[in-house]
A and B are shown apart, each in its own frame.
Chain A
Amino acid sequence: MLSSLYHDMWLIRAFEQGLESEFEKGNVPGMLHTGLGQEATQAALAAHLEATDTYFPDHRCHGINALAQQRHRGDGRRIMAELFGRSTGVCGGKGGSLHSADPLAGNFGDNAIEGSYMATVLGVALAAKMRGEAKVACAVIGDGTVGRGEFHESLNMSAIWELPTLYACVNNGYAIHTPVGKGHASADIIDLARGYGFACEQVDGNDVVASHDAVGRAFEHIRGGRGPFFLEFKTWRWQGVFSGEFRPAEEVKYWREQHDPILMAADRLREMGWTEERLDEVENESRRTIAAWIEFAKQSPAPDPAKATSDVYVGFTVEAP
């Protein structure tokens, strides 16, 4: 199990670093938010999400999206191609990094208005409950989202209707530049969630085994019809802000050198007898895979111009220029 999580974390890291490098070269349009540093949280969630479940990714979830696309649809390249705005992307280039979706992979799409899908997830969960399906409807949110009214509307409604909702709160310490303790009444989001009266848990989001086990308990709880679950992952994002690093040097050093989820997992694998060569091969294989995905994205054709005006409505057409 740790072996496959280790592979998954490396795929995410290689994906994000490859993407970052292409972004710096000007090959990726728009904005870029990476999930670097949060690989354990993402790998843990992706390991439990079935194609028949639903998750709403946040803007740093390229990793979950790629894993779900690869695992459930057999082609993770289409997530990369979407970020390049190409016709082979999961949304044909219409969505991009902030709006990649493929319902057949369980991926119901990010919404760039942070927390907006805290309301949307209620509908998916409600439909599952009305139909008697043992599905999990998961919203992956950041700590910043907790400031939105929809966060509270959602937790309240999940509670009163006992919906099969998983709130996966990725507390990476900062909402852009604002520290979590400054933006919210508690730096531990679980303190705010507890008032709604359903199951809550907090876990070290960089410990991939602990995170994987916690997600497992949440899924078991929800699939067992016992209502919603709030799971807070304590983690840290590598990416600073657009102007660069703003956090204290000791903090950066701690998270990047002493509490890096991949280094932590590698230590455990060494204890289990893995050699350095074996560990390196996982990294190298991931980097080769991602290089091929990037090449696929770059070689893919641009969207058909007719797509600019297609699918505005189901029942009406919008005239092309």
Chain B
Amino acid sequence: MTTEPVVKKRTMIKALNEALDIGMEIFPEMFLIGEDIGEMGGDFGVTRKLWSKYGGERVRDTPLSEAAIIGACVGSAMVGMRPVAEIMFADFLGECYDQIVNNAAKLHYMFDGQFKASLVIRTACGGGFGGGPHHSQSVEGWFLNVPGLVIVAPSNPADAKGLLLASIESDDPVLFLEHKALYRSKGEVPEGHYTTPLGSAAVAREGTDVTVVAAMRMVPMALDAAEMMAAEGVSVEVIDLRTIRPYDADTIVGSVRRTGRAVVANEAPALGGLGSELSARISQDCFHDLCGPVVRVDGLDTPIPFSDDLEKIVLPDTADVVSAIRTAMAQPSRGKQ
């Protein structure tokens, strides 16, 4: 006898908060650490009410010392703790880049498996809210070239909760990217404990004519674009990466081999980023199945400007995804479908 899980409408903030709460209940060795995450509940309220429930020892406020925050996570993980750090804005990761890249990510390998960096670094990333050059960046490209690091990037509240619980349970260091523009988006979220597997993409919408690969905020844009194209009789498959490193190449390659057309949608600048990697992989593994080149949607090759009028020029939007799909659909058919 199976019963349907109770599902409620939640914001991503609330879903993340539930995941942290459940994690703290399950793992006595788990603790939260970051700037103003305690009584204040974090800049975006993700740790709200956890300080009053678990106390200041396990929900630990810190000074503005990002390197020390991540160092404390690595050191405590070395003796079996399960820390979850909040770095207020992803743009601040430069302050603890060494701790993540040279310490957390290499720990298990360079000491021959004697330590595990069982830690999570949650951080708010992405543009679209007028944060300006130092509060709006998409940082995944900064970390893609770092073996040993897991990068998780949810696009909806249900995945955010399941992926965060999976990240907490993981014995690898996880950089958990929370797109600010998605924080207040709502979705159905199952109650209680569940995990969404790391390293596994989701088919967010099935389709047969063209595959759009996206992550985070580009996923709802891709879904909107798919809906618009459906009205024109184009069937769009949308793949939500969910984990950016290591990413689920099988799901992407399998889809593109079926559809024969690929669009890669990415908020960051084009050079040396996620879009570059995905295009290269699709071109290499699906070359003989493709009707034409992979079509890319990227942010412009600029910092993120403050003014809303300028920011919307720099960041990709739904219209850009639609345009890319049209470009892909204009490629001559190779007789597929």
Name A residues whose Cβ lies closer than 8 Å to a Cβ of B: 54, 90-92, 94-95, 99, 101-103, 108-109, 111, 113, 116-128, 130, 137, 149-150, 153-154, 156-157, 160, 307, 310-316, 318
- B100-144 toward A: CB 8 Å interface, digit per residue (1/0)? 001100001111111110000000000000000000000000000
Name B residues whose Cβ lies closer than 8 Å to a Cβ of A: 31, 57, 62-63, 65, 67-68, 70-81, 83, 98-99, 102-103, 108-116, 147-148, 150, 170-172, 198-199, 246
Q: Taking the nearest CB of chain B, how far is it from the CB of A284, in angstroms?
A: 34
Given A99-B110, A310-B113, A123-B71 contact (CB < 8 Å) = yes
Assembled-state Cα–Cα distance A123/B60 (Å): 12
Assembled-state Cα–Cα distance A291/B194 (Å): 57
Q: Taking the nearest CB of chain A, how far is it from the CB of B251, in angstroms?
A: 15
30 A-B pairs whose Cβ atoms sit less than 8 Å apart in the complex = A94-B109, A95-B110, A95-B112, A101-B115, A113-B102, A113-B103, A119-B68, A119-B99, A120-B75, A122-B75, A123-B81, A123-B83, A126-B72, A126-B76, A127-B76, A130-B81, A150-B67, A150-B68, A154-B68, A156-B63, A157-B65, A157-B68, A157-B72, A311-B108, A312-B109, A312-B148, A314-B108, A315-B170, A315-B172, A315-B198
Contact of A94 with B71 in the complex, beta carbons under 8 Å: no
Contact of A123 with B57 in the complex, beta carbons under 8 Å: no
Given contacts A95-B112, A118-B71, A120-B78, 4 further A-B contacts (CB under 8 A): A119-B99, A120-B72, A157-B63, A316-B246
Contact of B114 with A101 in the complex, beta carbons under 8 Å: yes
Given A153-B65, A157-B63, A312-B147, A120-B172 contact (CB < 8 Å) = no
Contact of A94 with B114 in the complex, beta carbons under 8 Å: no
Contact of B71 with A120 in the complex, beta carbons under 8 Å: yes
Q: Taking the nearest CB of chain A, how far is it from the CB of B117, in angstroms?
A: 9
Q: Taking the nearest CB of chain A, how far is it from the CB of B145, in angstroms?
A: 13
Which residues of chain A are near B172, meaning CB under 8 Å?
Answer: 313-316
Contact of A150 with B111 in the complex, beta carbons under 8 Å: no
Assembled-state Cα–Cα distance A125/B108 (Å): 20
Contact of A94 with B112 in the complex, beta carbons under 8 Å: yes
Which residues of chain B are near A310, meaning CB under 8 Å?
Answer: 113
Nearest residue (CB) in A for B102 is A113
Contact of A120 with B147 in the complex, beta carbons under 8 Å: no
Contact of A91 with B110 in the complex, beta carbons under 8 Å: yes
Assembled-state Cα–Cα distance A150/B67 (Å): 7
Contact of A116 with B99 in the complex, beta carbons under 8 Å: yes
Q: Taking the nearest CB of chain A, how far is it from the CB of B6, in angstroms?
A: 29
Given A149-B67, A316-B199, A123-B75 contact (CB < 8 Å) = yes
Contact of A313 with B75 in the complex, beta carbons under 8 Å: no
Assembled-state Cα–Cα distance A82/B83 (Å): 30
Among B65, B72, B111, which residue has its beta carbon within 8 angstroms of that of A101? B111
Assembled-state Cα–Cα distance A94/B113 (Å): 10
Which residues of chain B are near A92, meaning CB under 8 Å?
Answer: 112
Q: Taking the nearest CB of chain A, how far is it from the CB of B71, in angstroms?
A: 2
**Which one of A94, A128, A154, A313 has the highest number of Cβ atoms from chain B below 10 Å of its Cβ?**
A313
Which residues of chain B are near A160, meaning CB under 8 Å?
Answer: 63
Which residues of chain A are near B99, meaning CB under 8 Å?
Answer: 116, 119-120
Nearest residue (CB) in A for B199 is A316
Assembled-state Cα–Cα distance A316/B76 (Å): 22
Which residues of chain B are near A109, meaning CB under 8 Å?
Answer: 110-111, 115
Assembled-state Cα–Cα distance A116/B70 (Å): 11
Q: Taking the nearest CB of chain A, how far is it from the CB of B134, in angstroms?
A: 18
Contact of A119 with B78 in the complex, beta carbons under 8 Å: no
Closest 9 CB pairs of A and B: A119-B71, A123-B75, A123-B76, A153-B68, A314-B171, A153-B65, A120-B75, A123-B72, A311-B113
Assembled-state Cα–Cα distance A313/B62 (Å): 29
Which residues of chain B are near A119, meaning CB under 8 Å?
Answer: 67-68, 70-72, 74-75, 99, 103
Contact of A94 with B68 in the complex, beta carbons under 8 Å: no
Given A111-B103, A316-B246, A123-B74 contact (CB < 8 Å) = yes
Assembled-state Cα–Cα distance A120/B150 (Å): 20
Among B57, B67, B150, which residue has its beta carbon within 8 angstroms of that of A313? B150
Q: Taking the nearest CB of chain B, how far is it from the CB of A304, in angstroms?
A: 11
Among A123, A130, A157, A315, which residue has its beta carbon within 8 angstroms of that of B171? A315
Assembled-state Cα–Cα distance A316/B173 (Å): 12
Which residues of chain A are near B148, meaning CB under 8 Å?
Answer: 312-313
Contact of A116 with B75 in the complex, beta carbons under 8 Å: no
Assembled-state Cα–Cα distance A304/B148 (Å): 20
Assembled-state Cα–Cα distance A124/B116 (Å): 13
**Which one of B74, B77, B114 has the highest number of Cβ atoms from chain A below 10 Å of its Cβ?**
B114
Which residues of chain B are near A311, meaning CB under 8 Å?
Answer: 108-109, 112-113
Assembled-state Cα–Cα distance A91/B113 (Å): 8
Contact of B72 with A91 in the complex, beta carbons under 8 Å: no
Which residues of chain A are near B103, meaning CB under 8 Å?
Answer: 111, 113, 116-117, 119-120
Assembled-state Cα–Cα distance A307/B113 (Å): 11
Which residues of chain A are near B68, meaning CB under 8 Å?
Answer: 119, 122, 150, 153-154, 156-157
Nearest residue (CB) in A for B170 is A315
Contact of A153 with B75 in the complex, beta carbons under 8 Å: no
Assembled-state Cα–Cα distance A122/B76 (Å): 8
Contact of B147 with A318 in the complex, beta carbons under 8 Å: yes
